[in-house]
Amino acid sequence: MAAVIPSSASSAFDPPIIPDDMHPPVDLTEGIGRFRTKLATYLKEEDIERVCAAYQFSADAHRGQFRISGDPYVSHPLAVAETLADWHLDAQALSAALLHDVVEDTFISKADIAERFGKTTAELVDGVSKLDRLEHQSYEEAQAENYRKMLLAMARDVRVILIKLADRLHNMRTLDAVRPEKRRRIARETLEIYAPIANRLGLNPLCRELQELAFRHMHPIRYRVLDKAVKAARGNRREVVGKILHAIEKHLPECGIEARVRGREKNLYSIYRKMRDKHLSFSQVLDIYGFRIIVKDVPSCYLVLGALHGLYQPIPGKFKDYIAIPKANDYQSLHTTLIGPYGTPVEAQIRTTEMNQVAQAGVASHWLYKDTQTLPDLQRKTHKWLQSLIDLQSASSDTAEFLEHVKFDLFPSDVYVFTPRGKILALPRGATPVDFAYAVHTDVGNCCVACQINFESMPLRTELRNGDRVEIVTAPHARPNPAWLGYVRTSKARAEIRRFLKTQQNGESAALGERLLAQALRALGLEPAAIAVLDWARFLRNRGGRSKPEVLTDIGLGKRLPAIVARRLIEGRTIGAGDNDEARRGAILIRGTEGVAVQLAGCCRPIPGDPIVGVIRKGQGLIVHTHDCPAIAKQRGEWVDVDWEPGIGRNFEVAIRVFVANQRGVLAKLAAAIAEEQANIVNVSMDQENDAATMLNFTLQVSDRQHLARILRNLRRVPEVVRIARLKDKPKD
């Protein structure tokens, strides 16, 4: 009989419940023997026995379970462990790889694994395992939570993600058995999450294979067409490639340089991405072949570069020195593009043996190459990035936001800029001075007000370029601008801005909640001061609040109704009727400067003097509308009495539409009439109705309704004005 699979199993690769007699027996002896041979090359005998015990445990747990392809399910964890053995991972990681699905797909628990194979192995298995999808509202939410759990487990132990990447690699290799719609979804996940993580950890061959497999399953027709075109081009260009390879192998010894030269072909996904991003046809992508030159030391790299530039003409702007400035994943190499025979572009990568080891195995080279000198730097950079995931989690309010930040962070760093002291910072392409400021320090980003790029004052939204020298100007009382979220590119900047705005919103919402609660208490005949500490303690104990500020914040955000909180606070008291209910009730006074907790509705754009009403929207705070706003009927929430605070002393934006006769100088007359009443023009746009009339839309800054009335009277005195109307919604530019 097949083992029963819990409902929590949610992967597209989960084994179906199929009786044993529906499948012919499959012999795994060859795979197990090959696995043991790999282990014997670097593990002690006792460790090998431990790993084999984990395999037997997994085989017993998965007995009766089959993959969609029909293979015994245990063949999958065995293949995952084989990949890890190629990287020379330790016995704990190999055991976890063999056991990584038993918690999801069988009745084996994490405690059972810890008891049999140790706490570390159990923690690795738990980090790789998915959560129960039934806890979440949708597939997307479940997947986001799975990613969050996996990435945070990875931050604690990098072996978690190495197991997960090997798991995804084998699943992608066997994806043909899955339904087409699932194939596309899984391929998209691979391109968005797993391939970038592999790249970030320096696992370049793994990254390329994941990209290639994902491309094949996401766009099968494009893949087949491109594959056919590359095979056809391979025959046409074989002679040219052989000629270049022979010339390089002959020229380098003549220059006294000992090197290994290898020709390589770009993968299909790399060619496809270049065609898509640069809008090229296949015939325009000439550099589908490249060469890798490996030498003994760093000086030899630059000698090879000089020799190649002497052999073939270099293409200006196509040289990159990743040795002096390594990539974020510690990748080091010299890249140059040359004009070869018949005008064929030739891409060359020049690196040392150690650099090549790190480029091939990345963070896995910690286990694979024990003597690699560059490993301390690689481990330090990897640890720093993993630690940043913990910081992102603390800065993100929910799982989806955390995943968004991680996706931003996974794109490779392409722009290298300098601080005033000459330190190099790597940032994503499209990064701005705001990203730079947060990369320097969170406090620098929060207090940023201006910047200088190459000693010239530039806007904060300017995109940085390679080699820019950036200096940030700060002010002690400056605060992040919500508009920055529209153009920052780094996850750290985005997370810190959102964290600050959320903290600011909570503070403003607590102040608003206090005013709303005071209004509700007065409606019941009590002053807020009459609520004792014991009343609050009883409310928090019985109603599930953590603290008084949290309850007030919830009221301000519309998550709790102030009238209900007021009644709960005075439970058991006898409340006498007052003389004037309206006087007791009072109105919330609107200043217009409350920030994010109180918002003036964009649909009607109220200004002081307009009759107004307020509605508390859940999660948004208090929204203020004019009393005749058409959108009021559609609003859902708790309605509250609001009024303008006397003597506000600030300007509000208001929109007006002026129909005028087409006459020379009419715009100047209108501007003069507006300026006469000390009003600012924020924006003006024009729509010509016909040859005789024009419609002008103005956005003005006024202090109140009376100020607006004076402006309108002035405008009506202009002879060319035909009609004036106030616009309640924002005019289009």
Q: What positions carry a catalytic annotation?
A: 104-105
C-alpha 432/C-alpha 438 separation (Å) is 10
CA distances from 403 to 14, 145, 432 (A): 24, 9, 22
Residue located via tokens 């200088």: 452
Per this entry, what is the length of the chain? 733
Residue located via tokens 């009609």: 723
H/E element, 526 = none
Please give the structure tokens belonging to residue 278: 């640069």
Instruction: Phi first, then psi: give them for residue 527, nearest 5 degrees.
Output: -90, 150
Partner residues linked to 337 by β-bridges: 347
C-alpha 508/C-alpha 349 separation (Å) is 56
Residue 706: helix, strand or coil by DSSP?
helix
Q: Cα–chain-centroid distance for residue 431?
A: 14
Cα angle, residue 429 at apex, residues 428 and 432 outer, rounded to 5°: 80
Partner residues linked to 698 by β-bridges: 656, 684
Partner residues linked to 621 by β-bridges: 617
Q: Answer yes or no: are the C-beta atoms of 226 and 245 closer than 8 Å.
A: no
Helix ranges, 544-665 (H): 548-556, 562-569, 581-585
Instruction: State the burial class of residue 521 (Cβ atoms within 10 Å of its Cβ: 0-12, 13-18, 19+).
Output: buried
Q: Answer yes or no: are the C-beta atoms of 87 and 132 closer than 8 Å.
A: no
C-alpha 1/C-alpha 626 separation (Å) is 70
Cα angle, residue 679 at apex, residues 675 and 681 outer, rounded to 5°: 85
Beta pairing class for 588-590 and 642-644: parallel
Residue 332: helix, strand or coil by DSSP?
coil
C-alpha 724/C-alpha 88 separation (Å) is 79
Please give the structure tokens belonging to residue 69: 């392809």
Residue 640: helix, strand or coil by DSSP?
strand
H/E element, 612 = strand 612-617
Residue 490: helix, strand or coil by DSSP?
coil
Q: Strand runs (DSSP E) across 501-611, as ranges?
A: 588-590, 598-600
Dihedral (CA of 400, 13, 84, 263) sign: negative
Distance in angstroms between the alpha carbons of the first and the last residue of the chain: 70
C-alpha 711/C-alpha 714 separation (Å) is 5
C-alpha 312/C-alpha 343 separation (Å) is 10
CA distances from 664 to 517, 661, 667, 675, 694 (A): 58, 10, 8, 19, 12
Residue located via tokens 């140059």: 336
How many Cβ atoms sit within 10 Å of the Cβ of residue 146? 19
**682-691: long-range pairs with CB below 8 Å, 24+:** 682/653, 683/731, 683/733, 685/731, 685/732, 685/733, 688/662, 689/659, 691/662
